Structure formats: structure tokens, C-alpha cells
Structure 1
Amino acid sequence: MVLSEGEIKKTVYEAVENVEITDVHTHLYPPSFGNMLLWGIDELLNYHYLVAEAMRWADIPYQDFWAMSKREQADFIWKTLFVDNSPYSEACRGVLTNLHKLGFDVASRDLIKYRKYFDSVSLEEYVDRIFKEGRIKCVVMTNDPFNEEERGYWLKGLKDSRFKGALRLDVLLNNWPEACAKLRQWGYEVSEDFSGDTAGQIRKFLREWMDRIEAVYMAVSLPWDFAYPEDSPRSRIIEECVLPVAGELNKPFALMIGVKRQLNPGLKDAGDGVGRADVRAVEYLCSRYPHNKFMVTLLSRENQHELAVAARKFRNLMPFGCWWFLNNPSLVDEITRMRCELLGVSFIPQHSDARVLDQLIYKWEHSRKIIADVLVDKYTDLARTGWAIESQEVRRDVEKLFGGNFWGFLERKF
């Protein structure tokens, strides 16, 4: 069916509203992982974005806040950001979107009443509800084999088809002495100076864990000053271990670059900042290893154009999402439009980066609307050239953007 200019908006909105999403990067876990899965109103209010925002108003020392119980912290944040001030930051609005979508009377501002529901609902029931409300097909986790608690769950063989594995390599690549000690403890014959068969043993470790968690990719979060190549354990492990195993398994290596760790240590997890990365490291990897696949997201707004241009040059590079501090409506809109104009449909516009299960609702509710608005404008531009806009082609493109491009990239070989 060929759409008139007036029909484009309705068709795009329906396609985006109804599509089931593959969320390619989260920090969520299946219910079987116990307390590792964060959920509910108190966890939602204690999201590190809200902690940092609330502490801008607070006249108490940081340590006094951290000494509070989880519920006391949530009460403090609720009063500070939702009662004493209007909650129009994106993180605050997200909490209200969640409550509204779950059927609560947001106008009542009754945190006690909201809590009664979360205190009574079962976790299994709530996970099912969130996936249904958010129209989420599946999510990709962040799985750290160096986390002893998480490692224990994986060794028990616990799996859930809605939660896909991704092997996180932060400790291995960013703290080699700690990783080396752990690997030796687990029986791998490795040395800090890379003597003997250290590289071979690291490759063995990677293969075993990729298989154990059925990982769809390997990933690492990197500082803003990441450089490649360089004379460092990280560079050596990437070259001699990560890239060979990723190539052998035909799995992407996901690079998330741009963090300034602990810019304000008093805020703990809320204290990280952002720095502009050097995209030349990404360009070098894509050029030097043309048969490897790279998924890349960068934290700095100033890096986004360079990344999109690099993706035009390297088909083995998949830009994904508006990460962390970029997950704000004005920036998601700007970045998505720029990517459409440079890359057409060949990118992954968003991921939730959800740390609390509930965030799947609001982060995707907000992003769907922004991405739909961008697509309406792009299809309208096409229609004005005389190009016929077909309804089935709109649905095809939407399916690609919200999941198909990811699964297609996983299958591709270069």
C-alpha cells in the first residue's frame, strides 16, 4: 500500500508502537539470579542518575546519604526531586512514566501507596509484566565472569531465553593484575608478564565463557583516553586473545568508550563523568581487522559525527545506541537524525542500558516516540521527491532498527 503524506505519520507510529524490541545492552539479569536483578520503586529512585541529581540539592555529607537504608535513600530522593522541586529531568520523568504506564495515580504523589504494590507482587509476575508492557522481545545482559556472585549463578547453569548473554571483559582488559590472579586461582596457567602460554590460556578462558553463557558478543567499557594500538597489557590481550576468539566464533567485539571513572568519588557509582574519545582507535581496529565485527557506542556527544562517518567507511562497524549521558530526548533526536542522514537504516538507534528492570518501560517509551518522529520526517522528505512510501517497507525498516540490524550483524561474515 502506497502511503499519502498524511498517512505516513499514522503508519510509522503504529509500526514503532507495535514492534517487539531487542534491547542490545542492559545491566539486567533473569529472576533466577536473585538480588542481582534490581527492580521496584526504591531501586528506580536510587538509580545513580537520581542520586547525583538529588545530591546537588543536599546539605548533608555524602557519607550520611550512603549510611541510610535503601528505603531511606529513596524517601530522600523522592522528597528532594519530586516534592521540593519539579521533576522534569529525564531521569525523574522516567520514574513518573513508569508509574503512569503501570496504572498508578501519579497525581497523588503517594509513594507509600506505590510501594504497597511492589511489596506484594512476585518477581516472576513482575518480570512478565514489564516485558509485556514494554513490548520487549529480549534483552542482552552485561555478564562479568570475574564477579563471584554472578559466576556462581552461571556455574549452576541458570538460563532464561529472554535474557541473552554478553561476555564483559572490563576486569580482563582494564585491570590485568587482578584478572591474572583470578585466572590462576581458577586453574589457568597465566603470568602477569605474559610468559609461557598465557595468551593461549586467556583464549581458552574466553571460549569457555562464551560457550557457558551463550554470549552474543564480547564487550568492554573503556576510558575516554583509550588508545589502540599501545604498549599495554590491554592492547596485547585485545590483539592476541579477544580478536582471534571473536573472529573464530564470528561474534562482535563491543567497545563502549568515553568514561571518566570516579570524577567525584564521594558519589560512588554516580560519580563517573564523560570525556571525548579518540575515534582513530576505532578506525584502526576496523581497518586492521577487516574480518572482525565491532559494535561501538561513544559517550561524548562530540564523537558522534566521527563515529557515523567511520561507519560509512567500514561495514564491519555497527554504531549502537545513545549511551548513558546521551540518553536524553534532545540528544537522541539529534544523533538519530544525523545517523539516518549518513547511514540510512544501517545502524542500531538505541539501547536502554537499563540497570533496573522497570527502566525498560520508560527508556523505550521515550525512545520510541523520538525515533518515530525522526522517521516520520525522513519518510515525508522522501515522499516529497515523488518516491512511493510503501507501508510494508516502513514496517520492514522499523523491524530492522529495533532488532533486525542487530541479529543480522551477528550472522554476517566479512
Structure 2
Amino acid sequence: MIRDPQQLRTILQNELSRVKVTDVHTHVFPADFGQMLLFGIDEVLTYHYLIAEFFRYSDMPYGEFYKLPKEKQADLIWQTLFLDRSPVSEAQRGALTVLKNLGLDVQSRSLGEYREYYRSRTMRQQIDTVFSLAGVDEVVMTNDVFDPQERAIWKSGAGKEDPRFKAALRIDPLLMDYANSHKTIQAEGYQVDASFGGDSPAEVRRFLTDWIRRMDALYMAVSLPPDFNISDNSLRTRIVKECILPVCREQDVAFALMIGVKKLVNEPLGLAGDSLGKADLGVIEELCTNYPKNKFLVTMLSRENQHELAITARKYRNLMIFGCWWFLNNPSIVMEITKMRLETLGLSFIPQHSDARVLEHLIYKWDHSKALIGQVLEEKYTDLLATGWTLSTEEIRRDVEALFRDNFHRFLGR
């Protein structure tokens, strides 16, 4: 039995090192998705977080930057953020963690050396290496059926070659741009119209059902603005109530809502131009109350929503909160949110997901997240020891596996 803090620390670190993570939300893909999988040092450096930080210092016109070849963009970011000043932001430190964990010489500061490493690597080799270094054994992708490139991959019979990659059906265009997305559904042979009239609701349900089955999707997902609600008579509300929720129930998949993004507040910045806003938790209460047979995975982007979200999760067993999403993925905020959730919910939540857009992001996001979550767990376990409670290695292993993989699978029932 564990009775002293030093023994606790050693055992907890061992369990954090050995646990294999299920990353519940990413934007990475298996090798059979080809160029849709982003990997390599130039992709790491041109991640939109770093692009936004680059423009804190550069007066280069946005359009001029985006016209440059990827390698030249990376050169500018490396010089501006890593050489001209110390790389102290979380995204900057993350790039260095990637280099370090890949066994590259961070002290050399040589992009040429880092690029040379990748010239000897195949995509499949790099996937295996990154999964091993990150301690991840499966990830959930973001699969946009309204993207013609991705739709073609699935229709070709690809998409399931690598069992480490699980599907999630992403439906943002359906809810946020039905005026255009219905044309894609029509072109696929479903009888829908622009007004969502007639057989449209039934046909959208059939479309969603067919794609869930084709992908074997674990959940349907959507990124939503801060003002999202289901109390109005909007087309978006109708699609949620008449299509998404019934299909999720019938197919026994969760509905993942990622709420709080304000798209393109600075449009010329592209993906780097999104921001956030505080949302109203009433919509989650309404969904969980009125649709008790549905399962809801929820993450919210505003720090100001986090305590209310945790309290809401105490009230509904069909709600699972997950991750410190996007702008919340800073160490100080991750620590604060994780501590608050443990104190409010015990172990009944999913503390983190990577949201990785580049393969190597898995390395730094799980390296940093495990360290932060481990610090919070150590504090809470130490509090238990102070009461005279004892812990075993098996109990700590159980708890760590629950947080990093089992809670997700248990909630989904698969």
C-alpha cells in the first residue's frame, strides 16, 4: 500500500508513463488519407497558433505571407518566434518538445537538420513513431463528409485500414450552412430541398445514418458559436431536433458539441483568425433534460464557462465533458480546470484531448498534458493520504486509465 508522498509520486509517474491514451478529438488521419495527414517540421511551424503569434511581431501583409511556399513560411516563423526572441508561449514550447522527443538536437537551432530527418522518413514510419512517443494507441479523427476530397476517400473503400484511427462524423456545414450543404446531399442522391421541406428531414436522417455506418463513426460532432441555442424556430434548430438527435439515438452514437468559437473575426488570418465568446449553458441543460436517451459530449471554449459546465455535468449522467479545447490549452488554465473538475466531478470526466492538426502535435500535447494532469492528481492523492487513507498501485492505475481512455469508451458503450 502507498502511504507516503514520495512513493506516491514514483508510482503515479510510472502509471502516467505506461497508460495508453485514447485521444477523443483530433484532426489527424491514417496514411491511406494521403496528403490530408499533415506531418513534418514545416507543418509544425506553420500551425495556425504560431501563425497568429508570428503576426504579433510582423507587419507583413497577411496575403503576402500565405502566398509563400510552406518552407518559406516556416523559415519566417522560426526566425521571428524562436531566434529573434525566446519561444516561451505554449505553442512555441510545444514545437521544441516535438524536436526533443524525436531525438533531434534542439540546441543546434538548425531547421536544415530537422528537415533532413524527415527526408528519411515515410508517412507510415512517422505515424508509428509518433504514436509510440506520445503514448497514444488510438485517436478519433474529424471526418467531414462535406469535404469532397475526404468523401472520395471513404467512397473508395479506404478509411479503415489502420484500426488505431476511429471516425467521427463532422457536420458543421449541415448546421451552419444548409443553403450550400444541401446541394452536396442532393448530389449524393438524397431528396432534399433548399427550404428543408417535404421529405428533406427524412432524407437528411438517411444521409447521416448511411455515413455513420460507412465510417463506423463513434459520434457526430459540430463546432458552434457562443449564441447556439435550440429554443428558436431556426433551420439549424430543426435539423438538430428532427435529424441529428433522432439519428444519434437510433445509431447509439453520441452528439459532440464544441461551443464557443467565433469564426474569422479577422478573416485575412484564415484559420488563425478565429476567436471565442462566452456561451449560455442553458442549451446544454435543455438538451440533456429533454433528450435523456441521447448522449452528449461537450467542451466549451471560454474559460468563463468551465465551472458552470462542470456543475451541469453533476446533474446529468447523459453528459460527458471533455478536454481543455483550443485557447484553453495553456498550462495555467489546464491546471485550474482539471483541479476544479476533480474537486467537482471526481474522476467522471475526460480531462484532455489533443485537437492535433499536425501528426507531431500528439507528442507535445500529451507530453505536456500528462505532466499537468499528473501534478493535479498527485496533489489530490496527497490530500487523501493526509486523512489516513491508503492507496494501491492498482487503484492508481485504474484511475489513470479511466481518465485517459476508459471514461470515453464507457460513456459511448463501445
- Asked whether the two chains share a fold, i.e. TM above 0.5, the reply is yes
Deviation at 1:4, TM superposition (A): 2.7
Aligned to 2:120: 120
Measured in 1, the distance between the counterparts of 2:205 and 2:313 equals 28
RMSD (Å), alpha carbons:
0.9
CA contact (8 A) 2:21 2:138 kept: yes
The percentage of counterpart residues that share the same residue type is 54
Aligned to 1:342: 344
Q: Which runs of 5+ in 1 are unaligned?
A: none
Is structure 2 residue 104 aligned with structure 1 residue 104? Answer: yes
Measured in 1, the distance between the counterparts of 2:120 and 2:231 equals 53
Matches within 5 A, 1:166-205: 166-205=168-207
- Normalising by structure 2, we get a TM-score of 0.98
Match 1:243 to one of 239, 242, 245: 245
Question: For 1:38, what is the secondary structure of its paired residue?
Answer: coil
Is structure 2 residue 51 aligned with structure 1 residue 51? Answer: yes
CA offsets 1:259-304 (integer angstroms, 9 cap, x no match): 0100111111100001001111111100110111000000000000
CA offsets 1:152-172 (integer angstroms, 9 cap, x no match): 100112112011000001001
Aligned to 2:307: 305
Amino acid at match of 2:82: F
Measured in 1, the distance between the counterparts of 2:6 and 2:165 equals 39
Is structure 2 residue 334 aligned with structure 1 residue 332? Answer: yes
Amino acid at match of 1:203: R
Amino acid at match of 1:115: R
Deviation at 1:10, TM superposition (A): 1.1
Deviation at 1:334, TM superposition (A): 0.3
CA offsets 1:131-158 (integer angstroms, 9 cap, x no match): 1111111000000000000001001121
Match 1:359 to one of 361, 366, 372: 361
Measured in 2, the distance between the counterparts of 1:321 and 1:233 equals 29
Aligned length: 412
Measured in 1, the distance between the counterparts of 2:184 and 2:155 equals 16
Deviation at 1:192, TM superposition (A): 2.2
CA offsets 1:49-105 (integer angstroms, 9 cap, x no match): 000000111121111111110000000000000010100100000000000001111
Question: For 1:389, what is the secondary structure of its paired residue?
Answer: coil
Amino acid at match of 1:304: Q
Aligned to 1:63: 63
Aligned to 1:35: 35
Aligned to 2:82: 82
Question: For 1:254, what is the secondary structure of its paired residue?
Answer: strand
Match 2:295 to one of 273, 293, 296: 293
Question: For 1:215, what is the secondary structure of its paired residue?
Answer: coil
Matches within 5 A, 1:136-175: 136-158=136-158, 159=160, 160-175=162-177
Measured in 2, the distance between the counterparts of 1:195 and 1:292 equals 25
- Normalising by structure 1, we get a TM-score of 0.98
Measured in 2, the distance between the counterparts of 1:7 and 1:250 equals 43
Deviation at 1:200, TM superposition (A): 0.7
Aligned to 1:226: 228
Is structure 2 residue 277 aligned with structure 1 residue 275? Answer: yes
Amino acid at match of 2:339: R
Amino acid at match of 2:269: L
Deviation at 1:190, TM superposition (A): 0.7
Measured in 2, the distance between the counterparts of 1:242 and 1:172 equals 10
CA contact (8 A) 1:54 1:81 kept: yes
CA contact (8 A) 1:3 1:391 kept: no
Measured in 2, the distance between the counterparts of 1:267 and 1:26 equals 22
Amino acid at match of 1:314: Y
CA contact (8 A) 2:2 2:8 kept: no
CA offsets 1:310-369 (integer angstroms, 9 cap, x no match): 000001000000000001100000000000000000000000000000000000000000
Bigger Cα displacement from structure 2, 176-185 vs 85-94? 176-185
Deviation at 1:385, TM superposition (A): 1.2
Question: For 1:221, what is the secondary structure of its paired residue?
Answer: strand
Question: For 2:264, what is the secondary structure of its paired residue?
Answer: coil
CA offsets 1:20-40 (integer angstroms, 9 cap, x no match): 000000001111111100000
